Structure 1
């Protein structure tokens, strides 16, 4: 088969033989324009719009799909789990900035409004070594120096997975708390060995003192031994968690992996992966109230004021089971479409297909036995090609699209109509904790020369 250029030369020969001088000039101009493009194999997409002469867009090889008229032109903070760096990438796939660290990431990292970084990092020798164990929380200044640090890493406690700065400037952290087997058994646990339930603490970074804490171990129900504390009918106590729902040989039976704080309602949404649920915790309590089932704005103390995703975890036969392991309960805020709803990445162990749900939170938090307590699904997205057994999450973009982080693959941008606007393949060995979006004109990016 003849190449495209061979046809060009044949056409030139005919032009020189048959056409008038004026027609020769016009035809040659058109043919040379085609010939100049014939050997350019770079991935180029021409954006839509009213510009009659738009600049071509050169895509990095990682960009598999780029629909110019559908994407939101923002930057993506790609958080490389277990690495000592993270990157800001644009929609063409170019790295526009890279952050490097002395320690590898424990998981979460975010850019604060002042341009500093808040992250959780791994101690080299964590004594509790479940996936996501970290041990160090840090604020890193613009020049890379550590401005603030909080370390919790022992045989009994370790920081893990997530970190968030609250509106008051305090830092919210997630902790595994070791409970010895004998103590756990006295509270009704049938789990063999020590157990590691979850604990939340709020740290004042000026003093590094704990100003608030919540312990899941204070809010137990069990129906295995009537002679022990916390005995009751699990289905009749949905505000408690069944300590024997998910026994684990290593004691990590809850494995919470992320949280988000709701400023308006003063609650914390906690993703409890081992229960395939999200729990809502009242942050308005005092520490003393958080250890009981009374007090706080919702009157339940530290009990679970709402939960969703897997009603079978509290023996409720009503309501759809939607979650099959889950990550990142992301409360939509700051005026994005769907504000007040929650995006949740459901990993989907059993079918090996992940789903992102947008869920409408109830106006009033309540849990009623033998009732469908599940929230309404506003929007969802699933794709047989999208599955990550670990990490992952989703963000809502300003134009209404949803940015999905498929942890062991890369990123998807999905329109409200469920069309793929953008897909970025991080390549073999990539592992992303989450992805956060930043507008290209966000003033905070000026801190990095962008």
Structure 2
């Protein structure tokens, strides 16, 4: 019942997107949106936020504080976790906190819109990635601004990072030292791409990560995928090698059907215990693990840092085909929301696999190997510790999952809303209203950030 409606809606949105692209400025990069097609392994969908058109059943004015955000279904009240949910609705550029009855308790006024991630910190501020004014790079999920936002919606810190050559996008994370890390698309010209061994005759936008000190606005550390490539396309160009024999490097030509955005990273997670960064890479259908203990200089090489490998990949998982590994089972198909578990579950990792080509999403918890090791021509994939899927769980874009202290999981289905399921896989609660849900986060009622909001 739900899936045919989604296909019709996706087709209409695709038509509207292409009509808008025809009117775009010549200097703006406007990638082809393939979300109206049936996605395949080689055609990941992008995360372009879209506004829902109101219907007879949907008010044009969104609900405000004290009102119901949407429809709640309770299937087992005894097992629903107590707490609040922070909703990131990228389609409506809204961030609000609600209770489990969907009553909005607090909402922030974010004039630049979200692009995409916003989280509540322990001091009651938001940390978010917002949209730049008139960005030159406009792939789905673009940001351009990093901000701390106070409870009264005033901006406590703003960092602009958007130009013709780079833009922040998708995700931002607070480090224990008070700095923030974020993902960056950086332009490489067609000539640079060709010299690197690209099989495409166009500019490309590989990923980078930067760390910013909010007290000085200084970029204090950076990592660039560009420094860690391998290709078997042209032996007269840079980075030539055997893909399968170089699992710690990134196959530049794994994705060849996209308009420049060849990797499409969409999520960051920081491992404080090991000083590692986990990067969700949607178009490669895998997660890359990067050593943050390096200096910036070391991060551009293959030596240095706690693991002695510089900025090469310490570990990767989800899709062994991305580095021509014939061993290991592929799990991910357009993955979102990388997240390390803590407490008794240290060493486990959760992620949402959109399952675009399968039209079926799955939320996973994985047992990471200890130590992290990546070997050529061996099975490097982690074991599945827990998973959940359902005939009605499918969102080809965005989405995510967080573990609730009760042991339940809060699952965001990007084009539907939010589910709460138990360890045993029982669905106990759902929230739905038309929207485009990047992620949702669960907060206990005594969380310091909730207390700071005065709730």
* Fold match by TM threshold 0.5: yes
Offset, 1:99: 1.8
Offset, 1:82: 4.1
Is the alpha carbon distance of 1:302 and 1:66 closer, same or farther for their aligned partners in structure 2, counting shifts above 3 Å? same
**Are 1:87 and 2:105 counterparts?**
no
Distance 2:72 2:150 in 1: 32
Identify the match of residue 446 of structure 1 among 422, 446, 451.
451
**Are 1:436 and 2:441 counterparts?**
yes
Offset, 1:142: 2.9
Q: Could you say which residue in structure 1 is the equivalent of 2:336?
A: 327
Distance 2:450 2:79 in 1: 24
**Are 1:243 and 2:243 counterparts?**
no
Question: Which of 340-349 and 244-253 deviates more?
Answer: 244-253
User: Is contact 2:182–2:268 with CA below 8 Å preserved after alignment?
Assistant: no
For residues 81-105 of structure 1, what are the alpha-carbon distances to aligned partners after superposition, in whole Å with 9 as ceiling and x for unaligned?
A: 1434311111122222222212111
For residues 159-211 of structure 1, what are the alpha-carbon distances to aligned partners after superposition, in whole Å with 9 as ceiling and x for unaligned?
A: 10001110000010110000001011011111230000000000011111111
Q: Could you say which residue in structure 2 is the equivalent of 1:24?
A: none
Distance 1:278 1:294 in 2: 21
Identify the match of residue 290 of structure 1 among 284, 299, 305.
299
**Are 1:206 and 2:211 counterparts?**
no
Question: Which of 370-379 and 116-125 deviates more?
Answer: 116-125
Q: Could you say which residue in structure 2 is the equivalent of 1:134?
A: 143
User: Is contact 2:243–2:323 with CA below 8 Å preserved after alignment?
Assistant: yes
Distance 2:149 2:247 in 1: 41
Question: Which of 59-68 and 293-302 deviates more?
Answer: 59-68
Distance 1:202 1:61 in 2: 37
Question: Which of 207-216 and 362-371 deviates more?
Answer: 362-371
Distance 2:236 2:446 in 1: 63
Distance 1:146 1:60 in 2: 25
Offset, 1:60: 8.0
Distance 2:420 2:258 in 1: 38
Distance 2:152 2:402 in 1: 28
Distance 1:230 1:213 in 2: 21
For residues 260-292 of structure 1, what are the alpha-carbon distances to aligned partners after superposition, in whole Å with 9 as ceiling and x for unaligned?
A: 000001000000001000000000000000000
Write out aligned runs for 1:262-277 (5 A): 262-277=271-286
Q: Could you say which residue in structure 1 is the equivalent of 2:159?
A: 150
Distance 1:190 1:359 in 2: 34
Distance 1:286 1:111 in 2: 29
Q: Could you say which residue in structure 1 is the equivalent of 2:55?
A: none
Equivalent residues, number:
389
Write out aligned runs for 1:177-256 (5 A): 177-256=186-265
Identify the match of residue 345 of structure 1 among 352, 367, 379.
352
SS at 1:69 equivalent = helix
* More RCO (CA 8 Å, sep 6+): 2
Offset, 1:61: 6.1
Offset, 1:65: 2.9
User: Is contact 1:192–1:249 with CA below 8 Å preserved after alignment?
Assistant: no
Offset, 1:340: 2.9
TM-score scaled to structure 2, two decimals? 0.83
**Are 1:401 and 2:401 counterparts?**
no
Offset, 1:143: 2.7
Offset, 1:125: 0.9
User: Is contact 2:123–2:448 with CA below 8 Å preserved after alignment?
Assistant: no
Offset, 1:112: 1.2
Q: Could you say which residue in structure 1 is the equivalent of 2:393?
A: 386
Write out aligned runs for 1:367-378 (5 A): 367-378=374-385
SS at 2:244 equivalent = helix
User: Is contact 2:69–2:104 with CA below 8 Å preserved after alignment?
Assistant: no
Offset, 1:440: 1.1
Q: Could you say which residue in structure 2 is the equivalent of 1:422?
A: 429
Distance 1:98 1:339 in 2: 33
For residues 123-142 of structure 1, what are the alpha-carbon distances to aligned partners after superposition, in whole Å with 9 as ceiling and x for unaligned?
A: 13111010001111111123
Q: Where do 5+ consecutive residues of structure 1 fail to align? A: 1-58
User: Is contact 1:82–1:104 with CA below 8 Å preserved after alignment?
Assistant: no
**Are 1:71 and 2:75 counterparts?**
no
Distance 1:369 1:330 in 2: 26
Q: Could you say which residue in structure 1 is the equivalent of 2:39?
A: none
For residues 51-91 of structure 1, what are the alpha-carbon distances to aligned partners after superposition, in whole Å with 9 as ceiling and x for unaligned?
A: xxxxxxxx986112341111111111011114343111111
Q: Could you say which residue in structure 1 is the equivalent of 2:370?
A: 363
User: Is contact 1:82–1:105 with CA below 8 Å preserved after alignment?
Assistant: no
Q: Where do 5+ consecutive residues of structure 2 fail to align? A: 1-67
